Amino acid sequence: MAVKTLQDLLNEGVEGRGVLVRSDLNVPLDDNGEITDPGRIIASVPTIEALVQAGAKVVVTAHLGRPKGEPDSKFSLAPVAAKLAELLGRNVQLAGDVVGYDALSRSEGLTDGDVLLLENVRFDPRETSKDDAERGKLAAALVELVGEDGAFVSDGFGVVHRKQASVYDVAKLLPHYAGTLVAAEVDVLAKLTENPERPYAVVLGGSKVSDKLAVIEALAPKVDTLVIGGGMCFTFLAAQGLSVGSSLLQEEMIETCKGLLERFGDVIHLPRDIVVADKFAADADSKIVPANEIPEGWMGLDVGPESVDRFTALLTEAKTVFWNGPMGVFEFANFAAGTRGVAEAIVTATGKGAFTVVGGGDSAAAVRALGLPEDGFSHISTGGGASLEYLEGKELPGISVLED
């Protein structure tokens, strides 16, 4: 992509200039408001750190969760500000609002190398408005915080598929650059789409076929192996005429899955055995059954060991692997073996020289939750939805707006 990068901005000089950075700091919190996986904050540090070291006055904007366009304390970026300060080894101010009096007064008081984090940008309803004029007003207010000689660095890859004020509209008002993270993500995804080394294997999991339908349609004709697990596999099994008990099932997608199996049956690989449970709970009674013998009243919560062996044989021979979506309910220890097994197979492929990408979201969370080595993968993306839309061939507004 023909866009200017962070390095271009640094070469131009940022000392004493205000720089607005759109980061992706949307991390999971537990019931006590503690961060359970700081991966996205960690990934955002290099761009912010480079600007700080170069003497910029850094104003960071980001969102957390899905507040309904108004302030909500449970979605405050306060814990994020604390973690970011810890990682940067310096004070990070948190504005009490998005573009209001506190944000403006704090931004005016910034000195070279200071960092100001604005409160959750989705507290302002204009951020996600469908009205271009409304988004434009918020963008203009964000620009005011960094001044007329300011710059915009887009570093939140997890939101570049959204046409939102802090992602898209600000880039129309300021000199704009791709941050370290966004540039790296796009380079990685280009490798997956432009001329991937073969065999090329894709692993898709997660709950709903409908969420992954477009990417299946886009990738199935291009890959050598398409492994399907997670809750979505049961709709495919049902499409084969099998009973899936009380497993997650999208009945309205069965005919679609039949069509996919007819067209791409030579590359689609489904589980051969399933770990079933008598209820959806960590302590549920469970057993392993063939995929065509799921008992009535039981639900599949993971792929079985025979499936893992089969998938492992396919994945360890691949030269390119993209993985998005867990194989089962990995949050429950009794149903994590499938996800772990597939992840370990991908790590093995990496060790044999394959180019392997974890497509963000729950897959990235699983890598960390299961204690797998992050350097066992060529790249762990921070943006699940953005990664999928890129691979589907969709235009990402937050990327296209950066192109000159």
The helix/strand/coil state of 89 is coil
Per-residue confidence in pLDDT tens, the chain, 404 aa: 589 999 999 999 999 999 999 999 999 999 999 999 898 999 999 999 999 999 999 999 999 999 999 999 999 999 999 999 999 999 999 999 999 999 999 999 999 999 999 999 999 999 999 999 999 999 999 999 999 899 999 999 999 999 999 999 999 999 999 999 999 998 998 899 889 999 999 999 988 888 899 899 999 999 999 999 999 999 999 999 999 999 999 999 999 999 999 999 999 999 999 999 999 999 999 999 999 999 999 999 999 999 999 999 999 999 999 999 999 999 999 999 999 999 999 999 999 999 999 987 788 889 988 999 989 999 998 887 888 898 888 999 999 999 97
What is the value of pTM for the model shown? 0.88
d(CA 103, CA 96): 7
Q: Is residue 398 among the annotated active site residues?
A: no
pLDDT score, position 283 = 95
Q: Which residues touch 117 (CB under 8 Å, ≥6 apart)?
A: 60, 62, 77, 80, 81, 84, 92, 93, 94, 95
Q: Please tell me the predicted confidence (pLDDT) of residue 1.
A: 55
- Distance (Å, rounded) from C-alpha 58 to C-alpha 326? 36
Q: Which member of 179, 361, 376, 383 is catalytic? A: 361
Known catalytic membership, residue 385: yes
3-state SS class at 1:
coil
Count the Cβ atoms, other than its own, within 10 Å of residue 30: 8
Looking at residue 2, its pLDDT comes to 81
Catalytic residue among 90, 137, 191, 208: 208
Domains of the chain (ranges plus CATH)?
Answer: 6-180 (3.40.50.1260), 188-392 (3.40.50.1260)
22 catalytically annotated: no
Q: Is 26 annotated as a binding residue?
A: yes
Q: Is 360 among the annotated ligand-binding positions? A: yes
Q: Is the dihedral of CA 84, 86, 88, 89 positive or negative?
A: positive
Query: Does the N-terminal peptide bond of residue 67 adopt cis geometry, omega within 30 degrees of 0?
Result: no
Q: Is 361 a catalytic residue?
A: yes
Is 24 assigned to a binding site?
yes
What is the enclosing helix (H) or strand (E) of 235?
Answer: helix 233-239
Residue corresponding to tokens 């839309």: 389
Distance between terminal CA atoms of the chain?
9
**Which residues make Cβ contacts (< 8 Å) with residue 99, sequence separation at least 6?**
118, 124, 138, 141, 142, 144, 145
Catalytic residue (one of 40, 57, 106, 340): 40
